[in-house]
Structure 1
Amino acid sequence: MSRTASPDRIRLVVLFGGISAEHEVSCTSAAHVLAAARREAYELVPVGITRDGRWLRQDAAIAALAEGAALPGSLEPAGTVVNPIDLLTDTGSGLPTVVLPLLHGPHGEDGTIQGLLELAGVPYVGTGVLGSAVGMDKGMAKVVAAQAGIPQGDWIEYRDGGGESVEALARRAATTLQFPIFVKPANMGSSVGISKVAGAEGLPGAIKEALQYDEVLVLESGVHGREIEVAVLGDLIPEASVPGEIIPGAEFYDYEDKYVTGGAELQIPASLDADEVAAVQELATRAFTAFRLSGLARIDFFYDEGTPDRPGAGWLLNEPNTLPGFTPYSMYPKLWEASGVGYAELIDRLVDIAVRRHVRRAAISTTR
């Protein structure tokens, strides 16, 4: 792989933890990325963000990395308190800095940390402010997908305090959507706060549960289809991995199934014919471009093949994930491994994309 845009060695700041409900997922992702990154290519600087928003340089992990010692399977923020801007702009090592944010959920993949990194003027892995915000907000993502002509299921959006009661929303959903209905916080990932509701009587409770995590909700008709995911890598010209299929071990692919029990079955590659693979890869890269994503994303679809007595809807977008996990159960690195890109090379390519994008954008004039 060519790394002509990147210097020989980089100070790679790995951000993890954060104040969202996906804190634990982020800590696990960070441990595995730090263990896999090539020591000869990077000076690794793990920085944990506590649940109350303090930034801590992970001194013990830095020492372990320097000694070649193994890291635990998950890191919890601990160490020396640091000022974010001082940390990001530190040039004491003489190496250029690239930031790898592994902050899932709100204040991590919603454009907020990306805005800070833009102001600090440092290259970073992943999508920028706009794409991160749109990709994180399930309601806005559906609006953009509709405008781009990307097929998706029926849905409605709800904003708490907008004049419609929980009970009125439940009645509206029951009459306009098809059961089972999925109730989701608009700005949350890893299936946190999501409920699958089989009948009208369960909607009020599911809505109240989701409102604990966000003031904006998305309610979706359940789709009778297979769950197919595609990993996308790149920037202006993205590449799609082989598709993979999720066969949930639980009623649906929830938080426990993803990160705790690992009960879901991952089929990589998915059992699809060549035309089906080409179609979903084209949709995945089209969605990546429509949402203005960069670096990495996992684009999730449903494939409704239909039955002898019911016509299928074909490919339907579920959602984009702009910062997919890097845990042992995560689909994103597994899909790229099956596509010929190993874990360490994947990190290299993401860093290289970040540097190239930063150089390109820095050339844009800011004066008249």
Structure 2
Amino acid sequence: MTAAFALSLLSLAVWCGLLCGRAGFWRVRKPAPAPAPAAWPEVVAIVPARNEADVIGRCVAGVLGQQYPGKLSLVVVDDHSHDGTAQIAASAAAGTPRSGALTVVPARDLPAGWSGKVWAQSEGLAAAGHVAPGAAYVWLTDADIWHGPGVLAGLVARAVQERRDLVSLMVRLRCASPWERLIVPAFVFFFAKLYPFERVRDPRSKVAAAAGGCMLASRAALSRIGGFAAIRGELIDDCSLAAKIKPGGPISLDLADDSVSLRPYDDWRSLWDMIARSAYTQLRYSPLLLAGTVVAMTLTYLAPPLLALAGGARQWPAWLAWAAMTLVYLPMLREYRQPRWLAPLLPLTALFYLCATLDSARRYWLRRGGQWKGRSQAPVRS
């Protein structure tokens, strides 16, 4: 047996393991709507916003335009914006049925040891204690997300019926530009492989994850973990929050239909920066985990097409591995309404992600990690 053939067999074995051992992560399954509760609890929404003038108006209109039968308030935390974010938010609220439900609060200066977004969320939660002291749920969303009118009612109904402390939706990312079509569906695919949604929902599993664009958390659960101070320094705040909440109560994560990201990624650089901002954080700033990721990505995604094209029919295990990854990627492409011919190109997309991950480590070593809105938020390398 040649080394190349042995590598082909190993790649095929990896894909057999993924197909059998990752809870069907590639399947696109959306739960049926939950029945309406007997009484609709009060909800307060919190939106951290830092220089979001181009999107905050649509976000506020979406939140305050909810067809929610219960009481709903919105706290927008203006995190030292200098582009008129607060004024645009107020103007947008004035044109909604809940024009008086908006409160804009300025964030205090960022304390040492806190990441910017988590501090803004903490400031919003503190303000919510005055604005909506009776709210049973806190709806956490981002300034660049628009929610359709029925989203909140669906979240609350599920949380009440299934008694979940955290219900999250991975919003639909924009998939319009050529680069978005190549990269975005793979982003969701890789996320689901890392955090299989079925295991997130399973209270017996330790897998915990959430998507920060849309999270409904019970106020009791937030109080139980000590509020946002429990995740004060985290850059991947959504999954960190889920990991804190799940040991005390069940959580869920699903794909959204009517919650949409407004953030455009029209060129490769913006997508690269999105990945590089937190990829090395996901690896806990570990050179060993980085090396393992390089080996794993190479074996899983890069080796099959390289060996198949170089070896022809003799490398049949590599062809089977490539076919497997192509087939399991198709459901996510269908979810994002993208053509099937993109599926065999998944190895190229994986190479893009791998290179951006390496760049994420380089930025950390150069003390430029976690760049967002003018802040470098990754911990300083010792």
Larger strand proportion, structure 1 or 2?
1
- Larger relative contact order (CA 8 Å, sep ≥ 6): 2
**Largest Rg, 1 or 2:** 2
Larger helix proportion, structure 1 or 2?
2
Q: TM-score, normalised by structure 1?
A: 0.29
